[in-house]
Structure formats: C-alpha cells, structure tokens
Amino acid sequence: MTLDQVLARLDGRPHGAFKDSFAAIDAADAGMELLFAATWIHRNPDVPWDRPAPNSWTVVRTSKELAEWTSHHDTEAVLLPGLLERAHITILARPQRGAIVAGAVARLASGVVDISNVYAVPGHAVDWAELATAVGGRFPGRPLVGYEHGEDLEAAMTGGFEPVGHLRVWVR
C-alpha cells in the first residue's frame, strides 16, 4: 500500500494512525508523526531451555482478574471480558504476593502465537524466556512472534527471540 492509499483511508478522520509493518513509508511530509519504531521478533518453538517450565505465570480467567490486569496496562477499553472466552487468546499474569506484577497476551494466529501487550509494573521485569515457556505450554510447538523496542527488545532477545524486521507506527 502506498502512502497516498493509507492517507485516503484516514481522510475525514480527525485522528488517525497506521502501522507500517515493513518500515517502508515515510509519512512525516504528510503531517504524520512517528509514534514509535520497533523490531519484529521471532522465537522458534525448539529453542533449548535452561530452566524448567515456570509456574509463576497464570491465566487470567475472571473479569475481576482482567480488571486488575488492565489497570496496570491502560487497556480497559481494549481488552474486554469477552476475550476470556476465546480459545485462541490467553491473557497471562505474573502474580507476586497477591498482586499482578507483569502481564502479556498470547494469540494463536495462522500457525504462530503473537505475544503482545507485555508489561511489568515498576520495580519488576519480564523474563522473556520464562514468558515464552508459559506461552509455549498453552500453545505447544508454535513459533512465537511479536514486536518490541528499547529495553523490552533487549529483554526479548535475551529470552531467545531474534530480530526479523522493522516496523513503524505513525499518528496524525
């Protein structure tokens, strides 16, 4: 898709955004602002583990748990309770002392598992190898994919993920 085609789809909307999945479009001259640039990541299901499968990640199963999860991630209007009933989506939480300190969403799509919305509350960090083990336990034998940037990208790569491309998100 060309920049003109993307802008035509955004025409008439006061606020608009798009994800350039290949980091191939420069939309700055069209009045768009780069929200962020990130790196696509991939992890084969057969990457060897140096640790047992974690029991520290749990599946969010109730609306109450989801409300706590989203309160840390600002996704209350996005991750709705109906998602808890979908077999291809798993919302994971890492509780500690009765509170959620980290979270992630895993979604089975076209033979891979997309990991998104990964976060940790201040004072905590996500161990991506441990997260990959937890997701792999839910969706065995599937490659894991997603995108990250900055320290989160570094943590994912330490956890066995490899960079495979770049993307950009532009906003009006």
- Rounded to 5°, the CA angle 157-142-159 comes to 15
DSSP string, 75-101: -TTTS-GGGGG-TTEEEEEEEETTEEE
- CATH code, 132: 3.40.630.30
Q: Which two tokens stand for residue 118?
A: 């990964």
Would you state the pLDDT for residue 123? 95
Q: What are the C-alpha distances in Å from 158 to residues 39, 42, 43, 80? A: 14, 12, 11, 31
The answer to whether the CB of 146 falls within 8 A of the CB of 116 is: yes
Would you state the pLDDT for residue 15? 82
pTM: 0.88
Distance, CA of 72 to CA of 54 (rounded, Å):
22
The single residue listed with the structure tokens 């974690």 is 54
Q: pLDDT tens digits, residue range 73-93?
A: 888 888 999 999 999 999 999
Average pLDDT, integer, range 118-131: 94
User: What's the domain range around 165?
Assistant: 3-171
- pLDDT above 90 for 107: yes
Number of domains in the chain: 1
Average pLDDT, integer, range 110-129: 95
Distance, CA of 80 to CA of 63 (rounded, Å):
8
- Rounded to 5°, the CA angle 112-36-100 comes to 60
- pLDDT above 60 for 51: no
Q: Identify which of 161, 136, 158, 134 has the alpha carbon closest to the alpha carbon of residue 146.
A: 161
- pLDDT above 70 for 144: yes
